[in-house]
Homo-oligomer: A and B are copies of this chain.
Amino acid sequence: KKSPQEKKQLYSNRGMTLEEDINETNRYYLEQQIAVIHKKPTPVQIVNVNYPKRSAAVIKEAYFKQASTTDYNGVYKGMYIDFEAKETKNKTSFPLQNFHNHQVKHMKDVISQNGVCFVLLRFTSLDEIYYLDAKNLLYFWDRQLNGGRKSIKKEEIDECGHKITLGYQPRIDYINIIDKLYF
């Protein structure tokens, strides 16, 4: 049995990126048959490929493309789930420049189709993670477009969002929030 000290180390998360934590979470959900959520591959524009005789094709020239959707999607109890994950080192606000036009447009599309759409926001310096519904994000996005502030205040996220306590398995239990909000 692990001592509280060891346990604390297990639960603490220094060095893990938000993406790694989410991938771990999704792996857990998949294994436990809780939900089927995958990260989409990084979109790449392939320009030049070599096909050597007795080995695998080698991509010799390619470029990163901007994603036209969010990074994660999948299914939970028949419902379409879609989200994006972002981190900031800031402590008092979350910069909106972290999001791209394409992603915001995609979130609107998903909302129109009654999908479950949200963002996971991590304040790395505070070690805090929030679930924020995409509708709330769109509100702050539009505020910016109308000349308002270019970030979401931490207090606003505290008010509209749902704090997720980092766990061991699953690490970032966002399905728990979906359960509370939709079931």
- State the A residues within 8 Å of B (CB): 30, 33, 35-36, 38, 40-44, 46, 56-65, 67-69, 73-82, 106, 109-110, 112-115
Contact = CB atoms under 8 A, between A and B. Distances in A.
Nearest to A56: B63
A83 to B, nearest CB: 13
A69 B110 contact: no
Contacts of A33: 109, 112-113
A44 B69 contact: no
Copies of this chain in the oligomer: 2
B114 A78 contact: yes
16 contacts: A30-B109, A33-B109, A33-B112, A38-B68, A41-B67, A44-B46, A56-B63, A56-B64, A57-B64, A58-B63, A59-B62, A59-B63, A62-B62, A75-B82, A75-B114, A78-B115
A116 to B, nearest CB: 8
Determine which residue in A57, A59, A64, A67 has the highest number of CB atoms from chain B within 10 A of its CB, and name it. A59
B44 A42 contact: yes
Given A44-B59, A59-B61, A63-B58, A69 B113 contact: no
A41 B70 CA distance: 12
Given A36-B112, A41-B44, A79-B80, 4 more contacts: A33-B112, A44-B46, A77-B113, A79-B79
